[in-house]
Chains A and B, each alone.
Chain A
Amino acid sequence: MLTIGGHTFNSRLFLGTGKFSSSTIMRQAIEASGTEMVTVALRRVDLNNPEDDIMSALNRDKCVFLPNTSGARNAEEAIRLAHLARAASGSSWLKLEVTPDPRTLLPDPIETLKATEELVRAGFIVLPYMNADPILALRLQDVGAAAVMPLGSPIGSNQGILTAFQIEIIIAQARVPVVVDAGIGAPSHAALAMEMGADAVLVNTAISVAGDPVAMARAFAQAVEAGRTAFEAGMGSRSKQAHASSPLEGTLAADLGFLA
């Protein structure tokens, strides 16, 4: 069972709520995914549409709400958003995102570390979004991150796990759960992350913009479960050379000698 910040999760699939075509589809996709953790963002109220409220579409009894600090370009902005998120949600869960460059949306490691340290001190359960840097993962754990969230590839890019080598090291060294976040574009990508031993994956775009988001949510749930089961079952090691699956002894007559 996965435990983060003292909370136990049966599902290892976390879901982002961005870019769904309607709140009905979002609700159905959340249901189909079996997720117990959903992310949300904070934005200014649209004063032309003052009653529009995502919280009314989400079931807080079933899911932990994980507000993110998307839009923050440095630690100071992220910390300001974190306090607003805590006031709005009434809980201390936080996905810390500090992305100074809107083109790549890659996380700033120094500002992320700074903000993690300060927010942990302020009592937040901090899950920092980070580049897949094993040393940074250690530093974030040292200052009290409840989990680390290394990226597979840039946010919304659907490119899959381009950082496998680094993520393997992060997982091998981790003292907190590792949640692979960003870039997961297909159920096979999620399965790969889970086979590698990731504790969970966070998926948004691949589900919300799919032709049928509800069916895609189900496909991701199956992939995450399959990948996790394979990891727990113990994967065979890789080899450059073939190793026969069928026995080499007891092949038939001389004319079948080539089987030997």
Chain B
Amino acid sequence: MQIQLNGSPKTITDLMTVARLLQKLGVPITSVVVELNKTIIQPDCYATTFLKDNDQMELIRFVGGG
């Protein structure tokens, strides 16, 4: 199945959780915020949140700015 990850298409396997995807991407959990279909997912729900076809996922973090 396919999701939109940070605005680009990404093919993922079935039964993929947010936690598992972050791990596969090499993104440390503590440094990011996850937004799924414009709803913020709390970190303690990453392991129980399964991704669905056509989900829009945003991975956001702080960068330098003024």
A-to-B contact residues, CB < 8 Å: 16-20, 26, 39-45, 47, 50-51, 53-56, 67-68, 70, 80, 83-84, 87-89, 155-156, 182, 202, 204-205, 208
Contact between chains at B60 and A45 (CB < 8 Å): yes
Provide 15 A-B residue pairs closer than 8 Å at the C-beta atoms, listed in order of the A residue: A39-B65, A45-B27, A45-B32, A45-B60, A51-B27, A53-B28, A53-B31, A54-B61, A55-B31, A67-B62, A70-B66, A83-B40, A84-B35, A87-B33, A88-B33
Interface residues as binary, B1-31 with A (CB distance below 8 Å gives 1, 0 otherwise): 0000111000000000000000001111001
CA distance A89 to B33 in the complex (A): 9
Give A159 to B37 CA distance when docked, in angstroms. Answer: 41
| Contact (Cβ within 8 A) B33 A84 | yes
Residues of B within 8 A of A89 (CB): 62
**In the complex, A202→B65 CA distance in Å?**
12
Residue from the list B7, B31, B40, B65 in contact with A41, Cβ < 8 A: B65
A83 / chain B contacts, CB cutoff of 8 Å: 40
Grouping DSSP codes into helix (H, G, I), strand (E, B) and loop, the A interface class, with mixed when no group exceeds half, is mixed
Known: A80-B38, A83-B40, A88-B33. A41 touches B25 (CB 8 A): no
* Size category of the binding interface on chain B: 20 to 34
Q: How far is the CB of B41 from chain A (nearest CB, A)?
A: 9
Q: Are B65 and A16 in contact (CB under 8 A)?
A: yes
Q: Are B61 and A42 in contact (CB under 8 A)?
A: yes
Residues of B in contact with A (beta carbons under 8 Å apart): 5-7, 25-28, 31-33, 35, 38, 40, 42, 58-66
> 5 closest pairs, A vs B, by CB?
A41-B65, A16-B66, A204-B66, A17-B64, A45-B59
Q: How far is the CB of B47 from chain A (nearest CB, A)?
A: 17
In the complex formed, the residue of A with least CB distance to B34 is A87
Give B40 Cβ to nearest chain A Cβ, in Å.
Answer: 5
Q: Which of A50, A55, A80, A208 is within 8 Å of B62, CB to CB? A: A55
- For B65, give the chain A residue with the smallest CB separation: A41
A53 touching B66, Cβ below 8 Å: no
Q: Which of A19, A26, A87 has the most chain B CB atoms inside 10 A of its CB?
A: A87
A22 to chain B, nearest CB (A): 11
Q: How far is the CA of A16 from the CA of B65 in the complex (A)?
A: 6
C-alpha spacing A155/B65, complex, angstroms: 11
A68 touches B66 (CB 8 A): yes
A18 touches B64 (CB 8 A): yes
